[in-house]
Amino acid sequence: MLTKNDLIESFLNEGRICIHLFERIPEGGLDYRPTPGQRSTLELLRYLTFHVTTSTYSMITGNWDNYRLLMDEAHKMEAVDFPKAMGKQM
């Protein structure tokens, strides 16, 4: 059975992995989009900086009002700020 601490540790580990992979994005890789309908690398980075904590909080409280606000804020993030934004979420 998955405990609360197991879930938190899993999220923290995934955050560390994301930061590690971010550091290996090649020059010009932020605009890469696997197919026209999918997120670019930069869009994915922005999504990762808010989705886990915002979704979890919204599901627990039943209030999704902040989700749109935080999503709009994340869409302004520059790629260089990704590690800091992930650290904040972690």
For 8-17, write each residue's pLDDT tens digit: 899 899 999 9
What integer pLDDT is reported at residue 17 of this predicted model?
97
- The CA distances from residue 24 to 6, 20, 28, in Å, are 27, 7, 12
User: What letter represents residue 83's amino acid?
Assistant: P
In the chain, which residues have pLDDT < 70? none
DSSP H helices, 1-90, are: 4-22, 41-48, 51-61, 65-74, 82-89
The whole-angstrom separation of Cα 21 and Cα 15 is: 10
The pair of three-digit structure tokens given for residue 21, joined into one six-digit string? 């992979």
